[in-house]
Amino acid sequence: MTYALYGAPVSLYTGKARAYLRRQGIDFVERSPGCDRYLNEIVPQIGRWIIPVLETPDGEIIQDGADIIDHFEKGPGQNLKAFDSYPHDATLRAIAHVFEMFGGEGLLRPAMHYRWNFDDQNLDYLNAEFSLLVPPGSHDEEGFLHNSARMRRAAVGFGVVPNAFELIEAGFEEFLGLFSLHLAEHPYLLGGYPTIGDFGLIAALWAHLYRDPAPAMLIKQRAPRVGRWVERMTTTESYLHEFPDHDGSLVDTETLPATLLDLMRYVSVEYLPELIAHVEVANEHLAANPQIKAGTNGLERPGDRGLTGGRGLEGRGTATFEWRGIELTTAVMPYRFWLMQKLHDDLAGANPNAKAHTRNVFRSCGLEKWLDLRTTRRVERVNNLEVWGPEET
């Protein structure tokens, strides 16, 4: 059974899906989104040009890395996976959800900064890489410069603005230091094998931050253990030279490593204020627009990902919040609330003791608010689009 993954090496979100398929030993072939089948048959089915997309052997189309993972973890592909990427322990699963979201969304600022603000190191490389996204023979430098200008505008929507550059770099180097200390004792985020937390982190850390020349040099010079983890996450081999005696188990939920707790505290500073602000703005938007029908996102172009439409900071719903001593304004995207709900839904099914233990751990790391954040209407994914659910009664 061979699956087709439509994506590209340069794509952040493809990195999450690709790493999962490789580590689980699932037979797949990666195809360019510039190929005829993707452009003429896949795009009309999903309603927008977006990657990654997985096509199953029986023709089912699955868009989004989290949905691709869940096809094998919870859906019809369960018998093909080699291990459970969702920890069975409720607290470890909640922590994994945090890093799944942080990796794909919270690391966007350094990912976009190090990609688009270091032209001397990166531009020729990116020109070549982006040629893999289009039909053969159609790539030209003028087209690449047009697309790169669009991506630079998108970066502003993630808070990549000049007065934040130094703070972004300092924050990312802090993360590399903390993750390096953790990886000195543990092969993966939660111990002996990768979980959804690792697959979230690999998104930004592979496509942008380890492959693009400028940040790749930073990681190799400052955080070689992180580089080893990236390589471990992107191969089918065990790649555990420095952990010959590890028993392959996850960490003990009752005695969580101090290095893991420090990483959680980092997330509470780096990303939680943004998430809180986004939920507040989304709830204001929903209160002001009660006419939005359930099963729709209320947008003129349903394929747009922002709260109020638009493809850059302009025209989107935005949230302003304090981050590392400055104010940032970033675009609000309902997809993040859908990811956040996955943690809430899983924890809701845990027993009272596990819920209490999880809350105590999150409280100790400054992340307790994450457990209580809710939009007044749930975000659902219908026909590969983020839409609003019915109003709560």
Instruction: Write down the pLDDT at residue 133.
Output: 86
Whether 52 and 147 map to the same domain: the answer is no
Q: Is residue 260 part of a domain?
A: no
Write out the chain's pLDDT in tens, 393 residues. Answer: 799 999 999 999 999 999 999 999 999 999 999 999 999 999 999 988 999 999 999 999 999 999 999 999 999 999 999 999 999 999 999 999 999 999 999 999 999 999 999 999 999 999 999 998 888 888 877 778 778 888 999 999 999 999 999 999 999 999 999 999 999 999 999 999 999 999 999 999 999 999 999 999 999 999 999 999 999 999 998 899 999 989 999 999 999 999 999 999 999 999 999 999 999 999 999 999 999 999 999 999 998 889 987 554 555 699 999 999 999 999 999 999 999 999 999 999 999 999 999 999 999 999 999 999 999 999 999 989 999 999 876
Peptide bond into 52 cis (omega under 30): yes
Q: Is residue 263 part of a domain?
A: no
Residues near 321 by Cβ (< 8 Å), separated by ≥ 6?
A: 273, 274, 276, 277, 327, 328, 330
Q: Is residue 157 part of a domain?
A: yes
Q: Is residue 231 part of a domain?
A: yes
Instruction: Write down the pLDDT at residue 126.
Output: 95
Residue at a domain's end among 251, 282, 315: 251
Q: Is residue 265 part of a domain?
A: no
How many distinct structural domains can be found in the chain?
Answer: 3
The domain that holds 38 is classified in CATH as 3.40.30.10
Whether 169 and 302 map to the same domain: the answer is no
Whether 103 and 219 map to the same domain: the answer is yes
Whether 155 and 234 map to the same domain: the answer is yes
Residues near 134 by Cβ (< 8 Å), separated by ≥ 6?
A: 34, 143
The domain that holds 128 is classified in CATH as 1.20.1050.10
Q: Would the CA dihedral through 56, 34, 66, 377 be positive or negative?
A: negative
At 345, which helix (H) or strand (E)?
Answer: helix 335-348
Whether 211 and 295 map to the same domain: the answer is no
**348 vs 254: CA distance, rounded Å:** 20
SS3 assignment, position 136: coil
- Cβ–Cβ contacts within 10 Å for residue 317, how many? 18
Whether 235 and 208 map to the same domain: the answer is yes
Whether 71 and 97 map to the same domain: the answer is no
Q: What is the pTM of this model?
A: 0.96
Whether 96 and 231 map to the same domain: the answer is yes
Whether 105 and 246 map to the same domain: the answer is yes
- Which of 367, 375, 376 has the alpha carbon at shortest distance from 98? 367
Domain span at residue 69 reads 3-80
Residue at a domain's end among 35, 58, 80: 80
Q: Is residue 309 part of a domain?
A: yes
Whether 284 and 307 map to the same domain: the answer is yes
Instruction: Write down the pLDDT at residue 310.
Output: 58
The separation between CA 71 and the C-alpha centre of its own chain, rounded to angstroms, equals 17
Instruction: Write down the pLDDT at residue 36.
Output: 95
Whether 234 and 371 map to the same domain: the answer is no
Instruction: Write down the pLDDT at residue 345.
Output: 97
**262 vs 332: CA distance, rounded Å:** 27
Strand duo 61-63 + 318-323: pairing: unpaired
Q: Is residue 361 part of a domain?
A: yes
Q: Is residue 340 part of a domain?
A: yes
Whether 109 and 247 map to the same domain: the answer is yes
